[in-house]
Chain A
Amino acid sequence: ETGVTQTPRHLVMGMTNKKSLKCEQHLGHNAMYWYKQSAKKPLELMFVYNFKEQTENNSVPSRFSPECPNSSHLFLHLHTLQPEDSALYLCASSQEIGGQYNEQFFGPGTRLTVL
């Protein structure tokens, strides 16, 4: 148990659906991250929040919309996705941004399939 939970673990949605992914960390961390993991590709950083403020948005399409209501919760709202968005979406947390040793703790991920 890594202290980071994600729901749902699996999600199948059509291109016209709207859904949300949820992440919760129980580690008292101040930074949270969304990553996309596709087969045989590096982890792609999507969004970063530090003390609830978004600090990074790596040119992610607007059909992905993050929300961070507090330091423990992170959401990824999805709408009008494309089949190429099918991937494993990982949430992670760390103590904060800027520290040299910034180990990230990962949740188990949500396996998303877009039909």
Chain B
Amino acid sequence: GQNIDQPTEMTATEGAIVQINCTYQTSGFNGLFWYQQHAGEAPTFLSYNVLDGLEEKGRFSSFLSRSKGYSYLLLKELQMKDSASYLCAVQDSNYQLIWGAGTKLIIKP
């Protein structure tokens, strides 16, 4: 079967760095997405990785290792507004997104 695993909840301090991990087992791989979803709002796109390595975009970076079926989202200089759920999704061989359950990130002052 297809499976995406990520921690249910994480807590971090304002100004700090946090890494959210995602492991996957899917039928085929056509890229991995990270989305951010604030409570009561739509998920919004953060990053896309299809090749191994690190993609940096401002305070957010995303890493992919296809051989290990592993990705992480790195958030630096955390701000209170970063409190949200972070969703990992893999595009399978049919170009459909398989989603993880999301990681709720709580930022404390």
Identify the A interface with B (CB < 8 A): 2, 4, 40-43, 45, 48, 56, 90, 97-109
Known: A4-B42, A43-B99, A97-B95. A103 touches B8 (CB 8 A): no
Roughly how many angstroms separate A104 CA and B44 CA in the complex, as a whole number? 9
Other-chain contact of B87, A2, A43, A48 (Cβ < 8 Å): A43
Do residues B31 and A100 form an inter-chain contact, with CB atoms below 8 A? Answer: yes
Shortest Cβ distance from A112 into chain B, in angstroms? 14
What is the bound-complex CA distance between A107 and B95, given in angstroms? 20
- 4 closest cross-chain pairs (CB), A and B: A106-B42, A43-B99, A42-B99, A42-B101
Q: For the complex formed, measure the closest distance between the CB of B34 and the CB atoms of chain A, giving whole angstroms.
A: 11
Please, how many residues of chain B have a CB less than 8 angstroms from a CB on the other chain?
23
Interface of A is mostly: loop
| Chain A residues whose CB sits within 8 angstroms of the CB of B50 once the complex forms | 100-101
Bound state CA distance, A24 and B45, in angstroms?
Answer: 19
24 contacts between A and B (CB under 8 A): A2-B42, A4-B42, A40-B101, A40-B102, A42-B4, A42-B102, A43-B97, A45-B96, A56-B96, A90-B42, A90-B43, A99-B95, A100-B30, A100-B91, A100-B95, A102-B31, A102-B91, A102-B95, A103-B45, A103-B48, A104-B97, A105-B45, A108-B41, A108-B42
